Every structure is written in structure tokens, then in C-alpha cells.
Structure 1
């Protein structure tokens, strides 16, 4: 599995969303946009059930860590969730697979990680970036760090326990640190 990156340019973030919608449909674009706003791992994002959404929060137990994640929804996230709930009132999952709709006896399932990963990586190739499902989480962390310069906040949002892991994860390189030293003169 190759390393994927954060999208550091906000115009490119919007372009990826547009290309996902145009090429793969609204559902995959919604996965991208909600993933950017919730900063969850893809397995947790796809496992969200409508019952996990409580007015202005998503509450779920993270699959990888077992930690309870309580995430306050911003306006964009609420809009996506409300639109999906209105369009698919009988769905269990926020991003429910349509593949088994012809077999009424099958239990509902979320979209597969593989399908979402393929869609995002194909659009990444189109825009010239190494993108994958972790790119949503990394992008959120990168932009929070760039807006606040508060590594502790980024660590808390991503639920990391090490500064070094967080810096590497969001793509802050030695070049970025060097540029900050050169650009900021006191």
C-alpha cells in the first residue's frame, strides 16, 4: 500500500469533490466531503449508522482504537447528513451500498472501503496527487494545523498520542519547517 497525502491546496480539495461527483456520483462525493469534515478513518466513516447521529453530533466507537469518538457536526456535515437522510429514509447506514438492493433477504451493508479507495485514488491520478481514503483525514489535520499552528489540537482531533506521528501523518516535512523559519522573521 503506497503512502497517500493530504491535499494542501483548498481549490484542489474542491476539484477532487467535483471530479468524484462527476465520475462516481453524489454518494462518493459525499463520502469525500464528510470525511474531510469528520476526520475519521474510512472504516469508521463508512460504518456510521443513522442511529449514531444525535442532533449535532456523531457518536461511535472507533474500530482501530476502541476509543469513543464524539464529533460535533459543522454546517456542511449536517447538510450532507440531512440530505442523505431525506433521500434514503429506509437506509440503516449513512453510506449504504446499493449492490444488494435486488436481494431483499440480505442485510444492509455500507459501501466497501475498496470501492471508495479505488474512486479516490483514480481521481488522485487525474489531479496528479497520491490520494487514498486516509487523504481526507490527513487533509483535515493539515489544514487545522496550518490555520492554528496548534499541534496539540490536531493531535486531539485525530486522537493521536505522539506529536511526531501527527506531524508525519499530516505531511509537515522538514522543508515546511525550514520555510517557516525563513519566512517568519522577528
Structure 2
């Protein structure tokens, strides 16, 4: 399994958002939910029309089997409500084009993200990139690792910091500034 990183650059997030919005409303919605509320892709793919019409997204996380209730940020909520108007009651929001009412699978979600990542020259991307991107920017904005730990249902702040790449940023900065007195450069 490849290790994926959050999308640290706001410019690349904007570029991917624009790329996906131009290509497919469905794919754009998947992306903004992932980076907007930090759900796992498996939880996003199970959302139905009715889930978009509430002030909170409530899921029982597949991995942890714990309930998670996350408020939809107001700017995103408006877009989700507009998108929901295009759907039938009970319809999956990230619906497959094959078959009746089924969501796309994880590998299709990966291909969608991979294509958008290539467009903005990003590597180390996967479906978890969405969740990690949410976490990274949430932490940078709030500096509240305890709340992020709770949102992610992680057992410790250290796990959350490592998960969102903050530890990697710190190590990269330390190595960038590391002076080697024995070397004459």
C-alpha cells in the first residue's frame, strides 16, 4: 500500500476543485465532501440524497464502527443542497453509471482523484488524501489537535499529527535548516 500525503497547497486544492467541477458534478461533490468534512471514502460513497439535506452528516464509520456526526460547513452545505435537488429520494450521491442505484467503488474513486492529481502534478495521492487534506488544513487553521483527533476517532494526538503529515512537515523543515559544520558548502 502506498503512503499518501495531504494536499498542502491551497492553490492545488483550488485547481483540483475547478478541474473536477468542469468534468463532473458528481466527482466534484465527492472531492469537496472529502476535503470539507474529512470522512473516509468508504463513508462518503455510502451517503444518499437525504444525508445532504441535514445540517450534519451522520455516519457509522465502517472502520471504527463508531458513530460520527460532523457539521457541514455553510459554504459547502449550499452546494450540497443544490446537488441534492438533482437526485431522487434514496439515491446515492456518488452514483455509479453502471446498474441501478449503486455507488461507485473505491477503485473508481481512486482513478477520479488520480486524474485530477495528474492535472496539478501531484504524487503520493490516494483516496485517503481527501481525509488527510481536510485534517491538515483544519489543524493549520484551528491548531486544535484534540478536536481533530476526536473528529477522526484517533486514539492519540500523536497519531493524528502523523496522519495529517504535520510530523513530516516538521522533519522536512528541520532537515532543510540542518547545518553540517564539517562540510564546507
Category of TM-score, reference length = shorter chain: 0.7 to 0.9
Which runs of 5 or more structure 2 residues have no equivalent in the other structure?
Answer: 175-185
Q: Is the aligned partner of 1:155 residue 2:155?
A: no
Aligned length: 175
Deviation per CA, 1:89-146, whole angstroms, max 9, x where unpaired? Answer: 355212222222xxxxx4x111221111111122223322222211111011111111
Q: Distance in 2 between matches of 1:94 and 1:57?
A: 16
Q: CA deviation at 1:173?
A: 2.7
Deviation per CA, 1:57-115, whole angstroms, max 9, x where unpaired? Answer: 11121111110111111123312321221112355212222222xxxxx4x11122111
Detail structure 1 runs of 4+ shifted over 4 Å in the superposition: 177-180
Deviation per CA, 1:11-32, whole angstroms, max 9, x where unpaired? Answer: 111101112233x412111100
Question: Secondary structure at 2:85's aligned position in 1?
Answer: helix
Q: Is the aligned partner of 1:118 residue 2:111?
A: yes
More displaced, 157-166 or 25-34? Answer: 157-166
Q: Distance in 1 between matches of 2:24 and 2:52?
A: 23
The verdict on how the C-alpha distance between 1:113 and 1:151 changes in structure 2, with shifts beyond 3 A counting, is: same
Q: Is the 8 A contact 1:7 1:135 kept in 2?
A: yes
Tell me what 1:165 maps to. 159
Which runs of 5 or more structure 1 residues have no equivalent in the other structure?
Answer: 101-105, 181-186
Tell me what 2:177 maps to. none
The verdict on how the C-alpha distance between 1:152 and 1:123 changes in structure 2, with shifts beyond 3 A counting, is: same
Question: Secondary structure at 1:87's aligned position in 2?
Answer: coil
Q: Is the aligned partner of 1:138 residue 2:99?
A: no
Tell me what 2:45 maps to. 46
The verdict on how the C-alpha distance between 1:53 and 1:174 changes in structure 2, with shifts beyond 3 A counting, is: closer
Q: Distance in 1 between matches of 2:154 and 2:33?
A: 20
TM-score (norm: length of structure 2): 0.84
Tell me what 1:74 maps to. 73
Q: Distance in 1 between matches of 2:51 and 2:172?
A: 43
More displaced, 90-99 or 154-163? Answer: 90-99
RMSD: 2.3
Q: Distance in 2 between matches of 1:87 and 1:166?
A: 36
The verdict on how the C-alpha distance between 1:174 and 1:27 changes in structure 2, with shifts beyond 3 A counting, is: closer
